[in-house]
Structure 1
Amino acid sequence: MNSASEHPPGSLAALQARHGPRYRWLLLMAVMVGTMASIMSSTIVNVAIPEMSRYFVLGQERAQWVSSGFMIATTVSMLTTPWLLARYGYRRTYVVAMLVLLAGGVLGGVAGSYPLVLAARVAEGLAAGVVQPIPAIIMLRAFEPHEQGRASGMFGMGVVLAPALGPSIGGVLVDLFGWRSTFFMVVPFCLVSIALAYKLVPVSGPGGVAADRDGARLDWRGLAIATVGTICLLNGLVELHGSSAAQAVPLLAVAAVSFGAFLWWERRSVATGREPLMHLGLFAHRRYAMGSIVAFIYGTALFGSTYLLPVYMQLGLNLAPSHVGTILLPAGLVLAATIGIVGRITHRFPTRVLVAGGLGMLAASFALMPTIDAARPLVLLVVWSILGRIGLGFILPSLNIGAMRGLPSNLISFGASAINFMRMLGGAAGISLCAVFLEWRLAAHGDSLANAQTGPGRIAAFNESFLLLAFLCAVAMVAAWRLHDAPEEPAARQ
């Protein structure tokens, strides 16, 4: 059958017949727009945190929940993506997620209280978590192994424009219209992504099969355990800096118990024939297990820095929000170019070389941040930011695809979900870790972000926080070097 009319409307076969060999690239472009919206929603609001803190009269610990709340929701909802795709198909899952993201952006923009802002961020996080594993599933199923690097590079170039342009545009919006305007930035992206979804995203589930509305039930117990554990972990990290460790210890203990309970329940689900929320058999693949460790630590450093850098530039270097975006823009553009180049060569070099090399550059960029002070030109800040983004350009096209290459086709969607879960869990912990560590070092140097003036103690506290991130990247390099290339198993075509 060669014509789209011979296939059900919206089916994978009909779309392939209509668009021909280029369809897989068009599909990747369609989901790229939605992914850009979800990533922009995670980064653009960071520029507005200082002004939002002043508007709602928030302390640093409460303000960081604007980022952490998003990260928690994203982390947990990622585990539901394989089930949602199998139950409702690509199009329905994707469109509903975009509608939730759209609603979160509008709610955050009109919110008159801090709890409503947090609710909006949670809604945005839930949508972002469902959407972000989908591109990796498509790349592994729709593209041949020698095309996957190029597809990842092209996708990455588009996606990184969101965090590259987001802080720049967000900074200008905050200066001109206030913090509310940053929430509305995702609205046009969501509208475009929904329109593209109805034209290009199939109604089928992974592998082109029909969505199974009566299939396996969602592992609600596993999801509840994972949610409780994640919330307790992050709250426990925040309470570590409280007046008493008595509140932190029970929370961290519950997080540890939840982790053990989650592993037990997922093993029991497999043993009793139920579909688990996370296939623990993924981690029996050494390459995937090492990649997951790298993803967790790398997420901690990356997302911790996305929180720390805007705060450092505004409250440490006394720069206006619009200047923050301007300084970060060149690094973002270099990142987009680097991803495009590296994506074309990923099949020529071992994954561990690309990932470890990128982590090394990222670590160096953090370690060099203490060379910046009031007497040195800000050009150093631009240069070190560019160095770190070049490192990211080596990591992003290589890590997920490289770690999952060789997985059995029936585990690809679970693999994409789980490795993104590990990265986002690390990111959620990273934001809390940076906020808590910064507050600790500020107190140790006799300073506070509530003080109007920047002093040497504040700069020293920020520098020590950057050195912590450099150390985490160095640790991740050890695991990255164990990402030995494995023979590839052919995956089912999308």
Structure 2
Amino acid sequence: MIGISTAFGPTLGGLLIAVGGPQNGWRLLFWMNIPLGIALLFFAARLLPRKQLRDDQVRDLDPIGVLLLGGAVLTFMLPFVLTTGGPDDDPRRWFFLIGAALFSSVFVWWELRYAARGRSPAVRFSLFRRASYRNGLLIATVYFAAVPASFLLTTLYLQEGLKLEPVFAGMVTIPFALVSAYTAYLGGRLVEKWGRALVVGGIVTVILGFGLNVLLAVISPPELAPWLMAAALAVAGAGGGFVVSPNQTLTLAEVPVTEGGVAGSMAQVGQRVGTAIGVAAATSTFFATLYAKAHHESSLAVYHEGFRNGILVAVALIAVALVLGLFDLGQRRHAHEQEATA
């Protein structure tokens, strides 16, 4: 479902920009969330189970913990969101990280105290003692730091460098999304047999696909580049489907059912934080290259270099995910060998 929605999201966004024009089209992208939100409320009311909560469950929502976690995430993400790579970036934005450290410290203290009183905290730190959960969470965080940034860089290059209309730039990512939707379906069937090796193979394929994407963007004639980049993204999508879905399964496999909701929400926080950091790092590299080279090289050559440098940041992040995957694979095989000899 994520693959299918990813396929049509950028294209629909491009259509809305075409309908609204350059001045108002981008506003339609935000207004689009209103009918989508109403639809979500409708389906939530119809499909989610209706179960009466006990009074003690209602009191265990841990609102203070949620607010502290929200403050920590907000102050941590803000300096990265405000990083553009341009000369006007305010260096004082990094002071927000001091607030992140303070919020995080108070959050950890509160959660440990809350759990010690027998209540249900927003985050269960005991989950991190499970290697499968801890490693899977780290892999997902780093992976989501790289992939959304790669999509954004590709769109920027196509629209700003090759002067494609937004709707056509959005269509270039459709092969990735559709292929990843299919391989995610296959991955759900193969993960029990292949385990972490399936995720490692998927990460390698994603690196190959993104590498081909930037190579073809630089060496291809401009009129052929979007088509060849779409083909390269299809290769990356083949690997992407074997990463996200199987990794989710492996991450939560040893988590007790009663803690599944908390474990899943913690994974989502990690993914969102990773996305913010990855997008900031890759796009600031892209724009910093444009600012530095704009007066020395031709326009397209500058975009070639900026796109290449930004994608290298994203590929480096995926390489970190690969190292984490290999580490987890080694741990699992060592544990299996110990069980076999026990």
Same fold (TM over 0.5): yes
User: Does 1:211 pair with 2:58?
Assistant: no
Q: How many residues align?
A: 320
The aligned residue for residue 281 of structure 1 is 126
The aligned residue for residue 269 of structure 1 is 114
Query: Aligned residues: percent identity?
Result: 25
Answer yes or no: is the 8 Å Cα contact 1:230–1:255 preserved in 2: yes
User: Does 1:170 pair with 2:17?
Assistant: no
Bigger relative contact order, structure 1 or 2 (CA pairs below 8 A, ≥6 apart): 2
2:235 to 377, 383, 387: 387
The aligned residue for residue 49 of structure 2 is 202
Hey, what's the Cα distance between the residues in 2 that align with 1:433 and 1:291? 22
**Partner AA of 2:29 in structure 1:** T
User: Does 1:375 pair with 2:221?
Assistant: yes
The aligned residue for residue 340 of structure 2 is none
The aligned residue for residue 198 of structure 2 is 354
User: What secondary structure sits across from 2:299 in the alignment?
Assistant: coil
Aligned pairs for 1:248-263 (under 5 A) are 248-263=93-108
TM-score of the pair, normalised by structure 2: 0.83
Hey, what's the Cα distance between the residues in 2 that align with 1:475 and 1:420? 19
**Partner AA of 2:199 in structure 1:** V
**Partner AA of 2:262 in structure 1:** F
User: Does 1:424 pair with 2:272?
Assistant: yes
User: Does 1:322 pair with 2:179?
Assistant: no
**Partner AA of 1:202 in structure 2:** P
Deviations 1:89-121 (A, max 9, x none): xxxxxxxxxxxxxxxxxxxxxxxxxxxxxxxxx
Answer yes or no: is the 8 Å Cα contact 1:218–1:277 preserved in 2: yes
User: What secondary structure sits across from 1:375 in the alignment?
Assistant: coil
The aligned residue for residue 306 of structure 1 is 151
User: What secondary structure sits across from 1:202 in the alignment?
Assistant: coil
The aligned residue for residue 230 of structure 1 is 73
Deviation of 1:165 after TM superposition, in Å, equals 1.2
Hey, what's the Cα distance between the residues in 2 that align with 1:244 and 1:327? 31
Aligned pairs for 1:102-251 (under 5 A) are 158-177=1-20, 178-186=25-33, 189-204=36-51, 210-215=52-57, 216-237=59-80, 238=82, 241=85, 246-251=91-96
The aligned residue for residue 210 of structure 2 is 366
TM-score of the pair, normalised by structure 1: 0.59
Hey, what's the Cα distance between the residues in 2 that align with 1:442 and 1:259? 36
1:403 to 226, 235, 251: 251
Change (3 A) 1:454 1:404: same
The aligned residue for residue 339 of structure 2 is none
Change (3 A) 1:240 1:306: closer
Answer yes or no: is the 8 Å Cα contact 1:445–1:458 preserved in 2: no
Hey, what's the Cα distance between the residues in 1 that align with 2:56 and 2:209? 51
- Tell me which protein shows more helix as a share of its residues: 2
The aligned residue for residue 118 of structure 1 is none
The aligned residue for residue 292 of structure 1 is 137
The aligned residue for residue 104 of structure 1 is none
1:445 to 278, 290, 293: 293
User: What secondary structure sits across from 2:192 in the alignment?
Assistant: coil
Gaps of 5+ in 2: 337-342
Deviations 1:47-81 (A, max 9, x none): xxxxxxxxxxxxxxxxxxxxxxxxxxxxxxxxxxx
Hey, what's the Cα distance between the residues in 2 that align with 1:192 and 1:226? 28
Gaps of 5+ in 1: 1-157, 205-209, 488-494
**Partner AA of 2:198 in structure 1:** L
User: Does 1:415 pair with 2:258?
Assistant: no
Aligned pairs for 1:336-355 (under 5 A) are 336-350=181-195, 352-355=196-199
Hey, what's the Cα distance between the residues in 2 that align with 1:221 and 1:321? 42
User: Does 1:465 pair with 2:310?
Assistant: yes
Deviation of 1:254 after TM superposition, in Å, equals 2.5
